[in-house]
Amino acid sequence: MAESFILIPGRTSEQGCGISEGKFQEKYQSQINTLQVSPGDMQRLGLIKGDRVRLTSEGGQVEVSVVSAPKDELPDGILFIAYGDLSCRLMSADTHGSGMPTSKGIDVTMDILARS
């Protein structure tokens, strides 16, 4: 069953390095395609690293694999993903007159697709 989360896309140093190495290289791609989930939510949902989930927002839908966020980094109920192609597909086009789509703190629902 789909569950609601708040998604925070953001920069990471790995993602930043990946830009310089090349956006079509594996390092960058794996960074921006991996969703961090709090250890508590991982456990509660029975997720392990590599499981595939679908995120759906008002703006779009993407599929990613999950990994547990480093200890303490992420509170339960919040998801993190490195800023990139996938995170931006979840933004809505509306900028509320600011020019800036809401790119952080996005409401998403998560469906578990495949367990590895």
- Does position 21 bind another protein by CB under 8 A? yes
Smallest separation, CB 11 to another protein (Å): 4
Binder among 12, 30, 33, 65 for another protein (CB under 8 A): 12
C-alpha closest to that of 89 among 32, 49, 38, 42: 32
CB 34 within 8 A of CB 67: yes
Choices 44-52, 66-74, 108-116 (CB under 8 A): range interacting with another protein:
66-74
Taking the least distance from each CB to another protein, the nearer of 46 and 96 is 96
- Does position 76 bind another protein by CB under 8 A? no
- Does position 60 bind another protein by CB under 8 A? yes
Q: Where are the beta strands (DSSP E) in the chain?
A: 3-10, 34-37, 52-56, 61-68, 78-82, 106-114
Question: What is the DSSP secondary structure assignment for residue 4, as one 8-state letter?
Answer: E
